[in-house]
């Protein structure tokens, strides 16, 4: 059974579970359904204080070009889990002095 079907079944049982909602949003993101992903991940972030959810939110904001929001989401992830290397790396890439962002 595909992941999205399993997540939808889980959400039928527990529709306000932030982890399940995050999982659905992440499936949407991986499928390129960015707007749908944003709706779900923002909902998950409102339900559950979790570093992974805020990192996902940062990834989606970055994909949409919302760089300041992405920074905020990564900072929130690090506030919840200061040793989270993936969020540290993503935040570092968004710094204005990073050559990748020099043209932004």
CATH of the domain at 76: 1.25.40.10
- The crossing angle, in degrees rounded to 10, of helices 85-93 and 51-64 is 20
Cα separation, 54 vs 12, whole angstroms: 24
pLDDT tens readout for residues 26-76? 999 999 999 999 999 999 999 999 999 999 999 999 999 999 999 999 999
pLDDT in the model for residue 98: 66
* DSSP 8-state assignment for residue 98: S
pLDDT band at 88 (very low <50, low <70, confident <90, very high): very high
Cα separation, 88 vs 70, whole angstroms: 12
pLDDT in the model for residue 34: 98
How many domains, the chain?
Answer: 1
Cα separation, 57 vs 51, whole angstroms: 10
Domain that holds residue 18: 3-101
């Amino acid at each position: 059974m595909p992941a999205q079907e399993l997540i939808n079944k889980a959400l039928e049982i527990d529709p306000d579970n932030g982890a399940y909602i995050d999982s659905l949003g992440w499936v949407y993101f991986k499928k390129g359904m960015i707007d749908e992903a944003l709706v779900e991940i923002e909902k998950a972030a409102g339900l559950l204080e979790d570093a992974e959810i805020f990192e996902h939110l940062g990834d989606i904001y970055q994909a949409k070009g919302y760089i300041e929001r992405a920074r905020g989401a990564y900072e929130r992830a690090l506030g919840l889990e200061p040793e989270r290397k993936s969020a540290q790396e993503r935040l570092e890439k968004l710094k204005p002095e990073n050559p990748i962002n020099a043209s932004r």
